Structure 1
Amino acid sequence: MTKADAYRVYLETLTPETLAKLSQFVTSDVRFIDPFNDITGVNALRHVFEDMFDSVQDISFNVNALGLDGSVALMSWKFSGTVRGRGFKVDGMSKISFAKDGRVCEHIDHWDSATQFYMRLPIIGSLLSFVRRRISTQGRM
């Protein structure tokens, strides 16, 4: 099993109980970036995951594809869950860099927060839909 496969399995099976093993997979100064966070350190990353488990029910994280080239892995994934009774699905891609010891030193998540999050909010979503239609090339034809 490659270091990328081991990290994939850890993420796909992550629970509040397995958070205690996080430092086995990431360095103490790991950097994590997503549309809402830009943090450094294993404790900060643990807090992001704890907050996720506190806020989201029925969590599912599945990796669709994984590629490894030297010390960098690219991971295509689907994350889903329920927040306040409403289900959601997010498709994304992660760039994961590994330190010499095989642990993750950088994890950058890329996903479209506008269409997969903000557009689903009641007031903001309507406004973003309007703006999107106005700047769309199809809307200008």
Structure 2
Amino acid sequence: MKSLRVKYRIWVELDEARKETPPAAGRRKKETQGFIVGLGVARLLSAIKETRSLTLAAKKIGYSYKYAWDRTQKIKERLGEPAVETEKGGKGGGGHMTLTTAGDKILHEYQAWDEFLRKCMARKEEILASGILDKNT
């Protein structure tokens, strides 16, 4: 048998009920209006934190500027407050973008759960053997 690996996806969302959106191109898609951040947006927020620039952050992770900007606006729309804030530069430029307290919290929450799950997956056999978890649940 070929080797297999387990993969997973996590995301942060508002505590709201999921709703089904109409099928698009013959595919059923479940989406929640409460979705805030998944892997892509977490990478974007992390790159913004590192580069202090939406342009540089978008380039770093392979997003267009418009797509990256739209993601930040979607977070603001759903969260009710911005995840990023901008400061315009003077005559010679120099403006920058930083994460707000809410943006930092969202990124931290995503990264903390991602790290936790990675550690659990790496130690799966040890965790199961310890009896901490019931294998049947």
TM-score, scaled to structure 2: 0.27
State the structure with more CA Rg: 2
Pick the structure with more helix per residue. 2
TM-score, scaled to structure 1: 0.26
